[in-house]
Amino acid sequence: MSDLSTGYLIILASIGSIAFVLLWSMILLLIAFLSGWLTLARHYAAPIPLPTTICHWSFQSMALRWFFWGYNNCLTLGVTAEGLLIKVILPLRVGHKPLLIPWSEIQQIEELTVFLKIAIIKITLRQLPTIPLFFPKKILAQLQIYCPADCLNMLTKNVSIVDSNYNANT
């Protein structure tokens, strides 16, 4: 190959790489906006540096605004003294600031059954009841185990835990 065609290939590869990163970032920002993550981050952005976690689980799933906006196996959840820490894994983090949901902001935890047999929990927040958080039911058991005693008392005092089946009218 001539020096001229090698130069064109390098320029083309550079432009393609930049275009890919920009497109990737725009898609992630659009998902963060449509899912409600950006709204959650305005109210519940985690402080930097992040608080120390008592326990954390990687590659967890959560849905926002029902099930269309799923963050499947791309979250790290953590329990801190202040609340529930939710982070998106690094390659998907553009537009997704880490969230720290204070224990006192959890208004209701509702157990649901969807698609006839899948058990999930719906967490409704005091400031943003229109953006519920949906987790696999196993997360509730983990929260009850690892949540600090004073936070667990606050959580059970401020939260009504409802056991029901999924109803499309809710």
Quick one: which of 26, 112, 117, 102 has its CA closest to 66?
112
pLDDT per position as a tens digit, 34-75: 888 999 999 999 988 888 777 777 888 887 866 667 888 888
Average pLDDT rounded to a whole number, residues 103-122: 82
Task: Say whether 167 sits in a helix, a strand or coil.
Answer: coil
CA distances from 51 to 14, 24, 71, 100, 116 (A): 38, 29, 22, 9, 38
Are 68 and 92 spatial neighbours (Cβ–Cβ below 8 Å)?
no
Q: Which domains does the chain have, with CATH numbers?
A: 38-163 (2.30.29.30)
Of 7-11, 49-53, 107-111, 156-160, where does mean pLDDT reach its minimum? 156-160
CA distances from 128 to 24, 40, 72, 142, 152 (A): 28, 8, 22, 24, 21
115, two tokens? 């698609």
pTM above 0.85, yes or no: no
pLDDT of residue 98: 93
